[in-house]
Chains A and B, each alone.
Chain A
């Protein structure tokens, strides 16, 4: 497959919108422009695919929720209890 040589300013408009493209926040026509450009421009295709994976990794680590440390949970509970008692 032949690739269109990448020029830093060629496709700049598409480059700026890659996140909106991944978030499905663009209209159909702009999506098609990006897809057409990425098909022929390896630099932008690499950027798009690595950016997409980066976003998916960020989403994934969100599932790794740490529990509240027990000593802090107790301290917080006591603080809130005292607050409720004072204002109640």
Chain B
């Protein structure tokens, strides 16, 4: 029995559509694109330096999906496989490998420092309700911090904390071990946390601060 007749993930909303496309209904492929173009575009702008790169990544990803859809074995959700293709497209575009040496984030750098530098209490921004805290400026600062991460750390943080994949899903998408994902995620979060701490050191949040008129 062929794989397409016996998908392993029958609850995946895309299964029926993929079976039809793979059985010759290529006219249905645009529906698959419609379902994921926005999601993938937003992943692109989180990962790429500019909008043009994000658009190229989206287009190249769908071209690769069209070419290799017959190889999809239904061993994961289609969305996970799509992101696997997208991350490879992204890395290939930059002629980099996920395993290529690049800047490493050392845990030592993030360890709480000497006693003199330690705050006496938890800062107000850490306890603030998100709807009062998050505004356009902070949203931009956060996105900038994510973009400043070395790429292999950025990929993990975006997949885990922004795209909502689990540790095991992220490990499969990136073909890395779960422990490697956990290490990279923790360091990436500490990096972004440091950037936010620096931001609030200069722009202190106080509980009485008015909420912004343009929430993210």
In the bound complex, residues from chain A placing their C-beta under 8 Å from that of B27 are: 84, 88
Task: Check if B216 sits within 8 Å of A60, measured CB to CB.
Answer: yes
What's the minimum C-beta distance from B49 to chain A, rounded to whole angstroms? Answer: 16
B17 at the interface (CB under 8 A from A): no
Task: Check if A49 sits within 8 Å of B127, measured CB to CB.
Answer: yes
CB within 8 Å of A: which B32-55 residues: 33, 37-39, 41-42, 45, 51, 55
Partner of B216, one of A19, A64, A73: A64
Partner of B30, one of A12, A53, A62, A77: A77
Task: Check if A58 sits within 8 Å of B123, measured CB to CB.
Answer: no
The 9 closest A-B pairs by CB, nearest first: A43-B112, A58-B161, A19-B186, A54-B193, A49-B126, A88-B26, A62-B162, A53-B126, A43-B118
Task: Check if A42 sits within 8 Å of B216, measured CB to CB.
Answer: no
- Contacts A61-B216, A77-B30 aside, 19 further interface pairs with beta carbons under 8 A come to A6-B112, A12-B111, A19-B185, A42-B118, A46-B119, A50-B122, A50-B123, A51-B189, A51-B190, A58-B142, A58-B157, A62-B161, A62-B163, A64-B216, A65-B39, A66-B42, A73-B37, A76-B55, A76-B58
Contact A72-B55, Cβ < 8 Å, known A44-B112, A50-B126: yes
What's the minimum C-beta distance from B41 to chain A, rounded to whole angstroms? Answer: 5
Task: Check if A50 sits within 8 Å of B189, measured CB to CB.
Answer: no
- A59, B160: Cα distance in complex, Å: 9
Task: Check if B115 sits within 8 Å of A6, measured CB to CB.
Answer: yes
Task: Please count how many residues in chain B sit with their CB below 8 Å of the partner chain's CB atoms.
Answer: 58
B113 at the interface (CB under 8 A from A): yes
CB within 8 Å of B: which A11-44 residues: 12, 15-16, 18-20, 23, 25, 42-44
* Interface positions of B (Cβ within 8 A of A): 26-27, 29-30, 33, 37-39, 41-42, 45, 51, 55, 58-59, 62-63, 66, 107, 111-115, 118-123, 125-128, 130, 133-134, 138-139, 142-143, 146, 157, 161-164, 167, 182, 185-186, 189-190, 192-193, 196-197, 216
In the bound complex, residues from chain B placing their C-beta under 8 Å from that of A44 are: 112
Task: Check if B125 sits within 8 Å of A53, measured CB to CB.
Answer: yes
